[in-house]
Chain A
Amino acid sequence: MARLQIDRVTKSYGELKAVDDATLDVANGEFLVLLGPSGCGKTTTLRMVAGFVEPTSGTIRLDGNDVTTLPPWKRNAGLVFQSYALFPHLTVNQNVAFGLEMRKVPAADMPKKVAEALRLVRLDHLGERLPRQLSGGQQQRVALARALVFHPDILLLDEPLSNLDAKLRQDVRVEIRELQRKLGLTTVMVTHDQEEALTMADRLVVMSEGRIRQVGTQHDLYERPADRFVADFVGRSNFIEGRIEAPGKFVSKGGLAIACADGPPGSAVLALRPERVAIVGSGEPADNRFEGRVEFLSYLGAAIDLHVRLSPAERLIVQLPNRPESAAPKIGDAVTLAWSRTTARIFHD
């Protein structure tokens, strides 16, 4: 268990900067998730921490020691791969024992430690099986046990859940998170799945095009996204393009005058979460009220998405909770949308 410091790390491949000037500080016992679309640099960052990729510049410190140029086998990092990468010619026990053997743990202590690690992931009864005789979920847990058995300073998870089916994924998320808390392990996970990131992380790092866009808790990212990319990638947003004409007054391309938080005048983008927009009756007061017509409707089960045309240039997605007592509008219905001035986020281009 240790603190991980990534200090101004850059990785260039020729002209391309896979990771551009990344700085991160992961506290002891913290679960940090690197989130972003494919090619954003999150995996390269993880591989630099693991030691498979050497940074072009910058330093990586583990527990205060500079490990920037240390080969992977000299870093005490447990790694779980997307494909699990279990050794197909070794049994579950032998897979888990591999890290102990490399650390010259006495043979007499080995079975006990292996059994302990397998018990942690509730697979101690399958030690004699070969990986191909296990289900995907079981293989994933063996990979986890193999990475934990030698008490790594840091646990690195590279999209560990993306090969599991949706139902199992939800269980394993909780399982990994509880295990990580129990062991107090500093953990860095890479994922492109925002739901996974939000459920598991203490803190999240949103990356795109090699750069860190924002670091923060779920609440920070969702309520105060730093830029348009984060507002779009974490949760959903409606984006309305336009200009701030005067403090607190935004005029959209389609000509809607929208009351918003104060900001400097100039061209801007207004971001609005679909579930923060309400459908109101004609008499109710609100900072912003706009008439529109429902053009499209998706029934999602727990919620209903309405696509409401406000002007020729603007169509908003509005998410309503699906309640039996209130009849949802239908396609073609006229509705009134309302939101308060502080609901929308303003981004300047």
Chain B
Amino acid sequence: MTAAALPARQDDDARASFLSAGTLVGPATVFVAAGLLVPLAILFRYSLNRFEPRRMMVDAFTFENYVKFFSDPYYTGIFWTTLRVAALCTVACVVLGLPLAYALARTQTRFKNILIVLVVLPLFVGNAVRAAGWMTLLGSKGFLNVTLEKLGLIDEPLQMMFTEGAVIAGIIAVNLPYMVLTLQSVIEGIQRQLEEAAFSLGANPYEMTKRVLLPLALPGLLAGTILTFILGMNAYATPVLLGGPKFKMMGPLVFGQFQLNNWPFGATTAFVLMAATLALTATANILVQRRYRR
């Protein structure tokens, strides 16, 4: 091969690898761009429009929808409820999911695959069916109330359906598998001998978890937390079905506005929800990584 031929050959190689990278990344990128970014841009534009009851959406360039959202205690109340529910669900998923994921990752049993399917089982059930299940459990004539009454512990049925508690329980049940699966795969990648090394150096199980297991499981913990938080913030079916008509979260609010044909305000609430979710996720990510990057 001559010296002159070499650069040309390298160019070809570079073009070939660029092409193959392009073919790999391309379809997904186009799909996401067309299916998500473009509608988002349009929606954002809508959120700056004005709504007039008779003429529906009127072209404008104003932030008054955002002002309306943040100055009305009704909407800010819904916003805070959503944040609170999502945060509580996420914390509960971490607390419940970590031991479960650890046990699942470290078990030697040959039934491991069955155990994993059991963890995912709640996701096999559709939202409406799951809500029906919660109703038979929590309703005023439901399993819990009847049992407690029969035992003589209560005289009146407890109001458990259509409460924030019911919604939180419902969301945890859906989100927990995501947390467990994410954590489990990360913990499985942590050498068992690292735990033993910590023990042999004098760390008890608590110190081992704090100093070795958690820092090493951090990527999975972050991913799981982000996933469950996003799912919690955007929950729709569970708050509607288990929270009832009086309980409001952002997801149902967004949809409700579009149903009322108020596209500008619907777009506004959608953007507030998305921005808050993104901002909180990013902040948590940065804080946690700074804490453990030493």
Indicate which residue in B191, B199, B200, B207 contacts A83 across the interface (CB closer than 8 Å): B191
Residues of B within 8 A of A50 (CB): 196, 200
A76 to chain B, nearest CB (A): 8
Q: Which residues B259-286 have CB closer than 8 A to chain A?
A: none
Chain B, interface SS category: helix
A332 within 8 A of partner (CB): no
In the complex the two chains form, is B197's CB within 8 Å of A79's CB?
A: yes
How does the 8 Å CB contact mask read for A21-62 relative to B, with 1 for contact and 0 for none?
A: 000000000000000000000000000001110000000000
A50–B201 Cα distance when bound, in Å, is 11
B142 to chain A, nearest CB (A): 45
Residues of B within 8 A of A250 (CB): none
Residues of B within 8 A of A147 (CB): 200-201
In the complex the two chains form, is B200's CB within 8 Å of A102's CB?
A: no
B204 within 8 A of partner (CB): yes
Indicate which residue in B191, B203, B215 contacts A85 across the interface (CB closer than 8 Å): B191
Residue of A nearest to B195 (CB): A85
Q: Which residues A63-110 have CB closer than 8 A to chain B?
A: 71-73, 76-79, 81, 83, 85-89, 94, 98-99, 102-103
A150–B194 Cα distance when bound, in Å, is 18
A50 to chain B, nearest CB (A): 6
Q: How many A-B residue pairs have CB under 8 A?
A: 62
In the complex the two chains form, is A89's CB within 8 Å of B215's CB?
A: yes
B211 within 8 A of partner (CB): yes
B44 to chain A, nearest CB (A): 40
In the complex the two chains form, is B199's CB within 8 Å of A98's CB?
A: no
Residues of B within 8 A of A71 (CB): 199, 204
Q: Give the size of the chain B interface in residues (CB under 8 angstroms).
A: 19
Indicate which residue in A73, A81, A83, A89 contacts B216 across the interface (CB closer than 8 Å): A89
Task: Known A89-B215, A98-B201, A102-B203; judge A72-B193 contact (CB<8 A).
Answer: no
Indicate which residue in B196, B202, B215, B292 contacts A102 across the interface (CB closer than 8 Å): B202
Residues of B within 8 A of A76 (CB): 202
B116 within 8 A of partner (CB): no
Residue of B nearest to A98 (CB): B201
A346–B70 Cα distance when bound, in Å, is 96
A146 within 8 A of partner (CB): yes
Task: Known A88-B216, A98-B211, A102-B207; judge A52-B196 contact (CB<8 A).
Answer: yes
Given contacts A89-B292, A98-B201, A98-B203, 6 further A-B contacts (CB under 8 A): A73-B201, A79-B197, A83-B191, A87-B194, A99-B202, A147-B200
The 6 closest A-B pairs by CB, nearest first: A102-B202, A79-B200, A85-B197, A99-B201, A85-B193, A72-B199
